[in-house]
Amino acid sequence: MMQTYFYLLCLILLKYSVNCAQPYFPPQILFSVDDGIVAIDEINQRAYQSFSSGIKSSEDSYVLKNFPYATPDSPQSKYYVQLFEEYLPHSQCMYGTYWKYGGSTFNAFPSHWSNGTSFEIKNYINFKYPMIKSTDSSAFEDYWYSNGRCKTDSGKIYPCEGIYFKKDTDVPLRSTQVIFDGWEIKQYTRNYLVISVGKPDEKYFNSMPKNWSSICLDVNLGVLYDPQTIKINLHESVNVQVWLPTPPHRINGNDTVIIQWKSTECTDCFTWKPKQLSFNSKNFQERQTLTITRVKDGPKTTLVPIFNGGGFDRVRAENYTIVIE
C-alpha cells in the first residue's frame, strides 16, 4: 500500500519536475559520525565501525557475510557473524551468529539490517516515508524531506525525516529525524564527514583478531531451564527440564558439552541427580531432567553450572543458574 502511494506521489510530483530518486548513502562508503568511524561495503556484505569516548572507552564492531578465520565447517563459516570488541575500561570480545538457532543479543549496526536470526547489510539509511527533493535547496547542498510531518514537544512541526547531500552528489552531509529520546519528542540531527566513497580500505577489516573464534564469547551458547526458579520443601523433590538453545561447538572432533552444578549459599541443603548432563549437536534440543531434592533446611540457594567442552569455557556461568527458594 505504501509503495503504491509512493509511486502515485512520484507521478504527481513529476508534473512539477521534482526528482523522485530516493536519497541514500553510496553502497560503499567510509565516514565519521558521533565520534566514530563507519565503513560500509554493501556490495561485499561487510561493515565495520569504531567508536571512542576519549581514553575511557574504545570499541570496534564487525559484521560480515563471510567472516574470516572462522572454524571450517562451523556455523560461523556459513552465516553472517557480528563481532564486538571492547578495549577500555576492560577488555572483552563476543560474537553472535545469525542462523536458525541463533542471532545476536547485541547489534552495533543499523537495526534494519537485522531480522532476528537473519542479517543483511543494506544502506545505512532506512527512510520510513517517501522522500521529496526540495526545490529550495542552497547553492551547495541538496535537501530531501519526508512527506510525513511530525510535531515536537515544543510545538514545532518538521518533516519526520530529512537528509542533506553535497550539491549534485550522493555524498551525505547530515540527516534529521524527529525522535522520542526517552524524555521528549524533538528533532535530532546527525552530521556526517565522508572520508571516501568506494570500497573501504582493507585495514579496517584486517584489524580483527585472527583467533576471535577461540578467544571471544559466543553469545548464542547457553542453557535453558523449565522452571529456573523453584521452591522445594524439606524432603521433597522438583524436576527441572534442561536443554540448549543452540548446538555446542565441535572442537577437535568432539561436539559434547558436559554440565555439572555446584551450590553456593548452602552446600549441603540439596542433592541432585544425575550429577551431570551431556549435550551434543544431535540432542541439544532434547529436554533432559535434573531432579533436585532438599535434604536440609537452609537459605535461598543458587545452583551454578560448571561447563566442560563444546566451546562453553567462555560462557558466563552466573547467567545460567537455578535459583532455589
Rounded to whole angstroms, how far apart are CA atoms 31 and 174? 11
**Cell numbers representing residue 181 in the block:** 529520546
CATH fold, domain 221-324, is Immunoglobulin-like (2.60.40)
Tell me which H or E stretch contains 300. none
**DSSP assignment of 156-225, as one string?**
-EEESEEEEEETTSS-EEEEEEEEE-SS-EEEEEEE-EEEEESSPPTHHHHTS-TTHHHHSEETT---EE
Residue type, 148: G
Instruction: Check residue 116 and give its pLDDT.
Output: 87
Instruction: Specify the pLDDT at position 18.
Output: 43
Task: Tell me the C-alpha distance between 264 and 88, whole Å.
Answer: 31
Identify the pLDDT of residue 4.
43
210: cell is 585472527
pLDDT at position 89? 65
Residue 308 identity = N
DSSP per residue, 257-295: EEEEEEESS-TTSEEEESSEEEE-TTTTTS-EEEEEEE-
- One pLDDT digit (tens) per residue for the chain, 325 residues: 444 444 444 444 434 334 456 799 999 999 999 889 999 999 999 999 999 866 556 899 999 999 999 999 999 999 999 999 988 666 789 999 999 998 888 999 999 999 989 999 999 999 999 999 999 888 999 999 999 999 999 999 999 999 999 999 999 999 999 999 888 999 999 999 999 999 999 999 999 999 999 999 999 999 999 999 999 999 999 999 999 999 999 999 999 999 999 999 999 999 999 999 999 999 999 999 999 999 999 999 999 999 999 999 999 999 999 999 9
The pTM of this model reads 0.86
What is each CA distance from 128 to 18, 89, 110, 131, 154, in whole angstroms?
20, 37, 14, 9, 23
